[in-house]
């Protein structure tokens, strides 16, 4: 059972997670569970480290020995080919040994508890668990119960958080736009069910982004979202005006209750990103999507494949950013700390 006190909704908790949960006694990042509790300086350091790894794609040998002898286990209770593959590539390019566990055939299906499964896997001398789970708070639960030498990296938990997706999005924005303080960024679509949106909002605000907007129908915007430091728009045309970055979100149909959305066709007519609507943004506006994109539902194919789209860049940058996070946690090579 997942901890009942884990944040499963967008409503802000009384404060950030205790630093001791994500940081060790020396103030170094031990787990990455959420963007909350990090500092803008630490995020910038991770992005700087990712920059040093990004050039490896052009090298004949795409490997460095930073994590040689370490073992990383991808523990995915929820399917995601792209995310799991980029985590696997990131670990292997750092020279770590990688294990991928097929949860559908694991003992948890036979009735073994999550904690029992964790203890058995931990007995194999794993150094890091990369966890993806459909329940909010799963990564936090695991982080509270692992041995002192084990780190946990959240690859997405329920509606709560997807910190490495937010970091790779920040890396992509920074590469194209540089200074965040002058930017207007719009996040469009199913904010209510999106763990990516929550992490993006926190990261953008920690990097002092000029303005963060969320755009969507009232039924797909969570209560209290304004408390996260965003401007809310229900009219997509008004929300897109003069923005520098548009981040489209997938409709999370598997997490929706009935009645929230009349039809996909109607959603596209009212909220889909088309060339006409994109023209309202700044002329050099970049278009992003964490994927997988529903073409003709939240985004038109001509926009997804158009010159302003950086969707495939996001995928490529995911490897470098995840390498940076893993090396930061297990390599301990950076001067880290929590706080604002």
Position 102 pLDDT exceeds 60: yes
Cα atoms found within 13 Å of the Cα of residue 162, Cβ hemisphere only = 24
Q: Judge whether 166 and 183 are in contact, CB under 8 Å.
A: no
Q: What are the tens digits of pLDDT across the range 212-259?
A: 999 999 989 988 899 999 999 999 999 999 999 999 998 865 444 444
| Least confident residue range of 43-57, 101-115, 321-335 | 101-115
- Rounded mean pLDDT, 303-310: 97
The residue whose two tokens read 């149909």 is: 253
DSSP per-residue codes, 126-191: -SEEEEEESSTTHHHHHHHHS-TT-EEEEEEETTTB-HHHHHHHHHHHHHHH--GGG-EEEEES--
Question: Which CATH number fits the domain that encloses residue 289?
Answer: 3.40.50.1370
The answer on 270 and 247 residing in a single domain is yes
The answer on 171 and 95 residing in a single domain is no
The answer on 151 and 175 residing in a single domain is no
Binding-site residues, please?
A: 82-83, 110, 132, 162, 165, 195, 250, 291-292
| Least confident residue range of 71-80, 143-152, 167-176 | 71-80
> What's this model's pTM, rounded to 2 decimal places?
0.88
More confidently predicted of 53 and 103:
53
Positions marked active-site: 82-83, 110, 132, 162
Position 20 pLDDT exceeds 80: no
Question: How many domains is the chain built from?
Answer: 2
Q: Is residue 116 part of a domain?
A: yes
- Rounded mean pLDDT, 76-82: 84
What are phi and psi for residue 165, nearest 5 degrees? -65, -40
The answer on 212 and 104 residing in a single domain is no
pLDDT at 105: 56
Q: Is residue 6 part of a domain?
A: no
What does pLDDT average to over the chain? 86
The answer on 172 and 139 residing in a single domain is no
Structural domain that includes position 83:
19-161+316-331
Count how many residues are written for the chain: 340
The answer on 304 and 258 residing in a single domain is yes
Q: What are the tens digits of pLDDT across the range 236-249?
A: 999 999 999 999 99
pLDDT band at residue 337, thresholds of 50, 70 and 90?
A: very low
Q: Is residue 133 part of a domain?
A: yes
The answer on 288 and 218 residing in a single domain is yes
Position 170 pLDDT exceeds 90: yes
Q: What are the tens digits of pLDDT across the range 275-305?
A: 999 999 999 999 999 988 889 889 999 999 9
Structure tokens belonging to residue 131: 């966890």
- Collapsing DSSP to helix, strand or coil, 95 comes out as coil
227: which DSSP letter? Answer: G
More confidently predicted of 309 and 57:
309
The answer on 157 and 61 residing in a single domain is yes
DSSP per-residue codes, 228-279: GT-EEES-HHHHHTT-SEEEE----GGGPPTTS-S-HHHHHHHH-B-HHHHT
Structure tokens belonging to residue 106: 């694991």
């Amino acid at each position: 059972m997942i901890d009942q006190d884990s944040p499963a909704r967008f409503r802000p908790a009384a404060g950030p997670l205790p630093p001791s949960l994500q940081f060790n006694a020396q103030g170094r990042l031990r787990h990455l569970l959420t963007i909350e509790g990090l500092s803008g300086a630490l995020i910038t350091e991770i992005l700087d480290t990712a920059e040093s790894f990004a050039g490896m794609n052009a090298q004949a040998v795409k490997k460095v020995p930073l994590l040689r002898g370490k073992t990383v286990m991808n523990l995915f209770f929820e399917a995601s080919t792209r995310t799991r593959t980029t985590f696997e590539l990131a670990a292997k390019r750092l020279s770590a040994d990688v294990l991928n566990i097929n949860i559908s055939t694991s003992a948890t299906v036979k009735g073994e508890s999550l904690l029992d499964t964790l203890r058995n896997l931990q007995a194999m001398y794993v150094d890091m668990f990369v966890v993806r789970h459909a329940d909010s708070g799963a990564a936090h639960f695991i982080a509270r119960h692992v041995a002192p030498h084990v780190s946990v990296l959240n690859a997405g938990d329920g509606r709560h958080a997807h910190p490495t997706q937010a970091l790779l999005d920040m890396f992509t924005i920074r590469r194209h736009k540089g200074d965040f303080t002058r930017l207007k960024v719009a996040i469009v679509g199913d904010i209510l069910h999106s763990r990516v949106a929550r992490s993006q909002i926190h990261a953008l605000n920690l990097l002092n982004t000029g303005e963060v907007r969320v755009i969507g129908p009232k039924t797909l915007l969570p209560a209290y979202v304004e408390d996260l430091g965003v401007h809310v728009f229900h009219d997509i045309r008004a929300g897109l005006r003069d923005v520098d970055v548009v981040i489209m979100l997938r409709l999370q149909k598997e997490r929706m209750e009935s009645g929230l959305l009349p039809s996909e066709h109607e959603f596209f007519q009212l909220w889909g990103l088309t060339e006409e609507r994109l023209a309202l943004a700044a002329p050099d506006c970049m278009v992003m999507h964490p994927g997988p994109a529903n073409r003709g539902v939240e985004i038109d194919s001509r926009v997804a494949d158009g010159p302003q789209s950086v969707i495939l860049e996001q995928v490529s940058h995911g490897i470098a950013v995840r390498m940076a996070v893993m090396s930061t946690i297990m390599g301990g090579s950076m001067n880290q700390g929590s706080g604002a």
